[in-house]
Structure 1
């Protein structure tokens, strides 16, 4: 008997028929004697519909009330899935994040999980029930409903697996594993049998939509065995995300290519070139709970410098307001915005033992006359910001240049 945590995304539970299909899959695990905990997302499109309702009422809804609204999508799914399981003769019980007591901080719309009370879940499992938990949500210490950000159901699933010391956490989605890049953009992309947590974290942070970043962080930190599978295919091993590199095989130079279209570049023009200027510019951004990605500070001339950084497109308006409200703190001449940016990254632990990866990236893009505007590197990643209109071309040529195309 194994304890398995499964997570099903919005497309997997996007209709009554798909919910019934998920129930049949869960029933097979239950019938063979496994203990099963399930975390589910809202039905596909439901969260966007709820956000749209909120926007129809208020152009800038308060984060607390927005969380109250959008968290209802998962509540519908858990009830329907339990009904479907009951129809199959499988005992099942649903829980909202608050009922399980998934304790989070109070950062509404981007909350982080602090603790999980696993006692009620274990009690139901020991009684032979499948436990179905609403993903994407929790409560803070004051009892306020919180949500974990887009893709937060992944984090719920992994956190439950960690709290319960599960044998495996299975992430079911609309693809059958992790690919070398998005096959909708590069048809010759290949499915990976294994990928390290380190690589998956970079791929997720650089734009791969397969798993939420925090879910991968959680899995790596607590050594949760993680597998990505398709909810629409009965067979297949999916992609196993592992802690260790496979020392028995020669590592490829590049494991995958990730990209993000939703990037915006903000440039603070003519800021004083003095110690502390970066803090004065980025301090208000941090206080607004906005993540900054790439940062470039140009060489100063005549006592002034330009300071550029990127944020997610969805945070652009909030970031712009935070800067404008604090212009007096850094005395810049202007704030320039470019919302036509995209980021593309090559990722692979093989970079550690293969020099020349950066030059190959730059040469490949230069041959296509694609201009690089910003560059960021880590030990296993090279990321560049380019114009969004060149993104798909860049993905295809880099994929081919590093030998990732299917034979």
Structure 2
């Protein structure tokens, strides 16, 4: 049997009882002959508790010390799970990120992995141990503890799977796979048997919280097969992998993604001249505000209107910057709208199927939903609409593309 990397999040290890259940699951894989590496998060609520302690002492805690503090949450879980496994007769060893030597840069609280020294891990796997590794953390060149940011345990798991050339990286969470859309919005949303890295990356960037975006990027780059599974229920989950050219009838659309965290800004009556887009968006970028959808219209009076969207939390800062820019450019007006949402259809099948856009726009039209902005990529079409119509739009599109039905080519899977 090959190497399997399994990652369990905070809710999966949120109590001694849950840790015992995880130990039972891991033990079954080990008894089946697999070499197993387990990556764990801190127990649910622990990271927030530690953050609260830090902020009680210091309004802006020093990033280096904050990383030292937060890394203890995962260390507790690794020790407890290792104890539980050993109690079940499964030889297990716990590792912190520094003991593995997950080498990162020195960007405290948001470090990125540079290299992994897998020599100790390989030796212990060969000796028959289950390895329990603290997610979310590493060490820089100077030996300082670093953390990878929220959701960083997913990235740790994928990185270890890549370094160890694992057969599969299994992400255990509180859902049983990736769905065609959020089942809380569409009752007949369907669990996908498989989805490509590209599709999952688009779904994650559009608001799907099943996997962390960095982990999906990492998995795609190093071609690590990912599987999303429920931590407390048995089932096949969803496999995230390369596009399978052998599948003759690839579904046109994999899913419908949506994001409420959007706000729209428009600057009206700007002189239409070279460089004006940079003069507007340059200061926005300098303020470290990410811009999403952009639309520019040129009027007959040689003026232009430019509209763009940002994360809703960034709206106040973006508005302040844009008001200053408007004054410098003698623009007519600045308008903002925080009551918008983005809805997207995602699927690699778009590359070879015509009519996706027309099907999307017809479905929205039939529901009386006005489209404010449109953006496209090779495998995605996104629209900006009024937030109050978002769930209606998701349900209409899910039905229009018949996503509740399993594709014929995939039924046997």
Please indicate, yes or no, whether the TM-score normalized by the shorter chain is above 0.5.
Answer: yes
In the other structure, the counterpart of 1:265 is 264
Deviates more, 1:274-283 or 1:179-188: 274-283
What secondary structure sits across from 1:393 in the alignment? helix
In structure 2, C-alpha distance between the alignment counterparts of 1:385 and 1:67, rounded to whole Å: 38
Q: Which range moves more in the overlay, 365-374 or 188-197?
A: 365-374
Shift of 1:24: 0.9
Q: Does 1:381 align with 2:380?
A: yes
Structure 1 equivalent of residue 19 of structure 2: 19
Once the two structures are superposed, residues 230-274 of structure 1 have per-residue CA deviations (whole angstroms, 9 ceiling, x without a partner) of 11113x221112212253331222111111222233445555544
Q: Does 1:41 pair with 2:41? A: yes
CA distance in structure 1 between the aligned counterparts of 2:383 and 2:329, rounded to whole angstroms: 27
Which whole-Å CA distance do the structure 1 matches of 2:146 and 2:267 have between them? 33
Match of 2:29 in 1: 29
How far apart, in 2, do the equivalents of 1:345 and 1:164 lie?
A: 35
Change (3 A) 1:102 1:297: farther
Q: Output aligned runs, 1:223-302, within 5 Å.
A: 223-234=223-234, 236-268=235-267, 273-286=272-285, 289-299=288-298
- Inter-CA distance 77–363: structure 2 relative to 1 (3 Å threshold): same
Hey, what's the Cα distance between the residues in 2 that align with 1:341 and 1:270? 23
Residue in 2 that maps onto 1:369: 368
Q: Kindly tell me: are residues 40 and 299 of structure 1, through their superposed partners in 2, closer, same or farther at Cα, counting changes over 3 Å?
A: farther
In the alignment, the residues of structure 2 paired with residue 321 and residue 60 of structure 1 have an alpha-carbon distance, to the nearest angstrom, of 24
> Shift in Å at residue 376 of structure 1?
1.3
Instruction: Mark the CA change 1:61 to 1:345 in structure 2 (over 3 Å): closer, same or farther.
Output: farther
Is the deviation greater in 6-15 or in 108-117?
A: 108-117
1:222 matched residue in structure 2: 222
Secondary structure of the equivalent of 1:5? strand
**Are 1:7 and 1:157, in contact at CA under 8 Å, matched by a contact in 2?**
yes
Maintained 8 Å contact 2:170/2:226: yes
Tell me, in whole angstroms, the C-alpha distance in 2 between the residues paired with 1:369 and 1:64.
52
Please state how far the C-alpha of 1:96 moved relative to its aligned partner: 2.5
CA contact (8 A) 2:326 2:334 kept: no
Residue 410 of structure 2: aligned partner: none
- In the superposition, the TM-score normalised over structure 2's length comes to 0.87
Residues 354 and 66 of structure 1: is their aligned pair in 2 closer, same or farther, counting only changes over 3 Å?
same
Change (3 A) 1:350 1:51: same
Deviates more, 1:297-306 or 1:136-145: 297-306
Q: Which whole-Å CA distance do the structure 2 matches of 1:156 and 1:47 have between them?
A: 17
Deviation at 1:169, TM superposition (A): 0.8
Distance 2:90 2:363 in 1: 55
Deviation at 1:222, TM superposition (A): 1.1
Report the TM-score, using the length of structure 1 for normalisation.
Answer: 0.88
What 5-or-longer segments of structure 2 have no aligned partner? Answer: 407-413
Residue of structure 2 in register with 1:339 after alignment? 338
Greater Cα shift, 118-127 or 280-289? 280-289
Residue 52 of structure 1 deviates from its aligned partner by 4.6
Equivalenced residues, count: 406
TM-superposed CA distance for 1:92, in Å, is: 2.0
Instruction: Return the alpha-carbon distance in structure 1 between the equivalents of residues 137 and 325 of structure 2.
Output: 33
Q: Secondary structure at the match of 2:375?
A: strand
SS in 2 for 1:208: coil
CA distance in 1, matches of 2:322, 2:118: 43
Residues 193-237 of structure 1, C-alpha deviations (whole Å, 9 max, x = no match): 111222122212222111112212211211112211111113x22
